[in-house]
Structure 1
């Protein structure tokens, strides 16, 4: 394909601000829009807004009267009324993405993720302006969604890789509670509130997983195939490799002297839970037999919807509650290891740097960070989240796309046995030479000597 026409010549009206609610339905924008459509419609609200796209006014002066450009929410160029022609090129792919006449309009690319753009403007077929994307020293914004934990922790380390690669003046927009735990580990990045927009932005990119899954305006590939965290380097044009966030403890003093392990049993959807009725009961019992205290650090000690609720594992100590995330980081910092699900606190534990036993059947291991202590059963139905033939329904708490309503519902995690998890725990302890009972004995001896 030598050339793609990215827009119809006459289309000139669609707002650049859009909202995606509950990770749903990101509709496509027009490729040619009115200059007046750059106003902020922030008064309009949607329930559970996942991401608000707002490009703002075009920021960069070309040096030619009436022609402005930037790379905020795609490549954009504004031209006055006249006999003009605009081209967008992908320098890396060596392709012309857009080539059309323009007069008194703002032209914007359909691709909103990172593309190594070149913008060209012609007047009466004579090239009068050309600009190659160059982020070095420029103000760049990466905007993260609100209302989620694990996803942001999964994506954020790629923002730092992006900053280093392009040597840009990077701003990251996110919720205040996320800024509080991430900022200490990344002093070179500027952090701003979710809807705050620095002046003079040269470029901006939007981080997320976007539905429908074949949305190729905001993400270049299907996140179900590459994995949750690796959607970030795809969006940012980076090498797709494994990166881990750095979460630093604020209080390095060990408050709990006994050896302990942290667990988290709650999730946002029933498919994410460990649905084996014997599971947590036997694992907690095994850990306590080994000499550990078992601290449950979920936000909720019970959670569910309708007739299905999940309670804190029997025998675990209740460290749940709406505590600051930093308190959980400080607890995890001194834990020997963590046991959790495909949910946010597993990403927190991984960011703290302790070993993680991750239990999940509805996702495949490619979906989460690499850990040698991943537990899944391939003997039954599994991996529906990563199946490109099905689409996750955020409104259905009991989503099980292949087996819902049958006696096999949630068998992906029901058939993960506590014995299998305990075996992985024992291997982890052997790998790290963990001996909690000896630690407890030594502590008692020290007290006796005093």
Structure 2
């Protein structure tokens, strides 16, 4: 028995698109669509006036001919017939918008007029990322490159303009463009890599990103090996910014749950690092950030290298740093790409969410990992988001109960710090 796993035009497909338009791509619910739309009509010409492509799923446009059309979509890798329908004319769009190695078959009457197996070799493919995010794209880019190498396609990557100089010279065979420069009419296939929070039908991602990790979701969307690999960076200057040994820190974040909410944590770590002979360099964009009365400033004793500087300049500081101490934020991903040991302090994410670092700091005695809980809905607009303990004494305990001793111990595991490992952690009561 054949099961239609796709959707008739105007039913499930339209429903999922409405959900996506209300949810946005890479954002929480309630925001507008943030990724360029595909060309208005499919870009590939077929016989008898039909058109098809793989931009936003497999799309077929069928003109009126006076005879009925029959369309079948199959998955070449699983052998499943995904969808089959007959119609006089109109538009068919697969429900699944992530990578599927489709076979498209079209008949007019009893005559098969098209049998096309997906083949991106030598063709234009667009992978598009949301604007306004840094760490996500650093984590995702290598999977787009892996797709290019696997399928031997001409790859275009669309992203926020500040990120383009960070990658363009490192990948001369990839076209990097802003969203405004996207040419949808030239694309054989387009894939949107983002965080889809409300994709209950799994139309845009084959598995929920919260279960596989923020960066590895790109691998599943693009159908490539999920093994992580940092991207290459193009630095304007690779020279060392200062002669003295130093450690970079990043204390700022976009929402309070990402901060290290231990009130004495940063002060103790800065003192500890300076006591070991390191200069401590803060490379956040902003020297102070927060909402209302809740603000975080550069820790006393840290040197201020904040400001609206190119990401290449921050990557230069990171490349020569003995370590980076930061949060689950873009600078940690940039440090990972620069090859710097990363001490990541995060309680609201589970370690699977980020790249693997042996210096990850989390306290499992406290509430943790709400970001990766599929039962919780992250709200980008709520700076004080804490879904389990908001307005209680336990709010933000996930990082408030991460001690400076834990962070010192993580630093002590870095080979260059081994001789100066912190004293063993004292036993402390959690509550």
Q: TM over 0.5: same fold?
A: yes
CA distance in 2, matches of 1:12, 1:103: 20
Q: Which residue does 1:217 correspond to in 2?
A: 203
Residue 125 of structure 2 corresponds to residue 140 of structure 1: yes
CA distance in 1, matches of 2:276, 2:13: 66
Residues 150, 345 of structure 1: 8 Å contact kept: yes
Deviations 1:86-144 (A, max 9, x none): 11111112111111112221211111110010111112243221100001111111011
Q: Which residue does 2:194 correspond to in 1?
A: 208
SS in 1 for 2:34: strand
Q: 1:184, CA displacement in angstroms?
A: 2.0
Structure 1 unaligned regions, length at least 5: 27-45, 436-450
Q: Which residue does 2:138 correspond to in 1?
A: 153
Given candidates 58, 65, 68, the residue that maps to 2:42 is 58
Residue 100 of structure 2 corresponds to residue 115 of structure 1: yes
Q: Which residue does 1:353 correspond to in 2?
A: 339
Q: 1:7, CA displacement in angstroms?
A: 3.0
Q: 1:401, CA displacement in angstroms?
A: 0.6
Q: 1:336, CA displacement in angstroms?
A: 1.1
Q: 1:215, CA displacement in angstroms?
A: 4.8
Q: Which residue does 1:31 correspond to in 2?
A: none
Specify whether residues 205 and 13 from structure 1 end up closer, same or farther in structure 2 by C-alpha distance, changes over 3 A only.
closer
CA distance in 2, matches of 1:209, 1:151: 9
Deviations 1:331-375 (A, max 9, x none): 112111111100000000010111111110000110000000000
Residues 260, 336 of structure 1: 8 Å contact kept: yes
Residue 271 of structure 2 corresponds to residue 285 of structure 1: yes
CA RMSD of aligned residues (A): 2.3
CA distance in 1, matches of 2:312, 2:192: 26
Residues 28, 197 of structure 2: 8 Å contact kept: yes
CA distance in 2, matches of 1:66, 1:12: 26
Residues 50, 146 of structure 1: 8 Å contact kept: yes
SS in 2 for 1:321: coil
CA distance in 1, matches of 2:57, 2:364: 41
Specify whether residues 287 and 10 from structure 1 end up closer, same or farther in structure 2 by C-alpha distance, changes over 3 A only.
closer
Q: Which residue does 1:412 correspond to in 2?
A: 398
Q: Which residue does 1:71 correspond to in 2?
A: 54
CA distance in 1, matches of 2:9, 2:129: 33
Q: Superposed, which structure 2 residues align to 1:258-297 within 5 Å?
A: 258-297=244-283
SS in 2 for 1:370: coil
CA distance in 1, matches of 2:416, 2:255: 33
Specify whether residues 269 and 380 from structure 1 end up closer, same or farther in structure 2 by C-alpha distance, changes over 3 A only.
same
Residues 41, 61 of structure 2: 8 Å contact kept: no
Q: 1:25, CA displacement in angstroms?
A: 4.2
Q: Superposed, which structure 2 residues align to 1:294-305 within 5 Å?
A: 294-305=280-291
SS in 1 for 2:335: helix
Residue 9 of structure 2 corresponds to residue 24 of structure 1: no
Residue 395 of structure 2 corresponds to residue 394 of structure 1: no
CA distance in 1, matches of 2:81, 2:128: 27
CA distance in 2, matches of 1:213, 1:59: 26
SS in 1 for 2:399: helix
SS in 1 for 2:407: helix
Residues 357, 374 of structure 1: 8 Å contact kept: yes
Residues 141, 231 of structure 2: 8 Å contact kept: yes
Specify whether residues 5 and 85 from structure 1 end up closer, same or farther in structure 2 by C-alpha distance, changes over 3 A only.
farther
Given candidates 291, 303, 316, the residue that maps to 2:302 is 316
Specify whether residues 434 and 108 from structure 1 end up closer, same or farther in structure 2 by C-alpha distance, changes over 3 A only.
farther
Q: Superposed, which structure 2 residues align to 1:421-432 within 5 Å?
A: 421-430=407-416
Q: What TM-score results when the alignment is normalised by the length of structure 2?
A: 0.91
SS in 2 for 1:394: coil
CA distance in 1, matches of 2:189, 2:334: 29
SS in 2 for 1:284: helix
Q: 1:13, CA displacement in angstroms?
A: 11
CA distance in 1, matches of 2:297, 2:377: 28
Residues 227, 366 of structure 1: 8 Å contact kept: yes
Q: Which residue does 1:128 correspond to in 2?
A: 113
SS in 2 for 1:107: strand
Q: Which residue does 2:161 correspond to in 1?
A: 176
